[in-house]
Amino acid sequence: MLNLILPNSYAQEIDQTRLATAFREGAKILGLSKKTSLTLRVTNNRLIRQFNHAWRGENFPTDVLSFENTFTDPETGEEYLGDIVISFEKARQQAKLGGHTVQSEVELLFVHGLLHLAGYDHDQKEEWAEMTKAQDQILKKIGNPLQGGIQYNE
């Protein structure tokens, strides 16, 4: 289940149904339980900068952060993966620079965050290749054109 925190100021520009589909398809491809849930919060540069500074020591806004917090509810069996925070302002800026829609950018960032919560990383070249492949597979499944979007810096 996708728990979405989306301010009204961004709601008209984001198709929540597509985000729910991205979550369902990503969960299937990743082999996650049907009882898996996470929270996606779409926010502004100011708040994501505060999170980035508090958790990573970086005092600037970033596009997406993932906070792994794996927990299984003993009563319901629901598996909570954690939280993803996306800066709508960064997503809009990157979409404009890339010549695509903000919806496509938000989906890309969401899938990227989901992969981090599922244990993927991209620090090493082998990890980067594996994560890129999984990200592209999910994006293709939901009809998102932004494939090959993970940067790898040697």
Q: Is there a contact between 87 and 43 (Cβ–Cβ < 8 Å)?
A: yes
- Give the span between the Cα atoms of 88 and 85, in whole angstroms: 9
Q: Count the residues in the chain.
A: 154
- Name the amino acid, one letter, at 41: R
- Give the span between the Cα atoms of 46 and 44, in whole angstroms: 6
pTM: 0.93
Render each residue's pLDDT in the chain as its tens digit; 154 residues. Answer: 999 999 999 999 999 999 999 999 999 999 999 999 999 999 999 999 999 999 999 999 999 999 998 889 888 888 999 999 999 999 999 999 999 999 999 999 999 999 999 998 877 777 888 888 999 999 999 999 998 766 545 5
The pLDDT, as a whole number, for residue 121 is 83
The pLDDT, as a whole number, for residue 152 is 47
Q: Where are the alpha helices (DSSP H) in the chain?
A: 8-11, 16-30, 45-56, 88-98, 102-117, 125-141
Cα pseudo-dihedral 4, 36, 65, 29, rounded to 10: -110
CATH architecture of structural domain 2-141: 3-Layer(aba) Sandwich (3.40)
Structure confidence by residue, pLDDT tens digits, 45-71: 999 999 999 999 999 999 999 999 888
The pLDDT, as a whole number, for residue 127 is 80
List, in order, residues 6 or more apart from 104 with CB less than 8 Å away: 95, 144, 145, 146
Q: Where are the domains of the chain?
A: 2-141
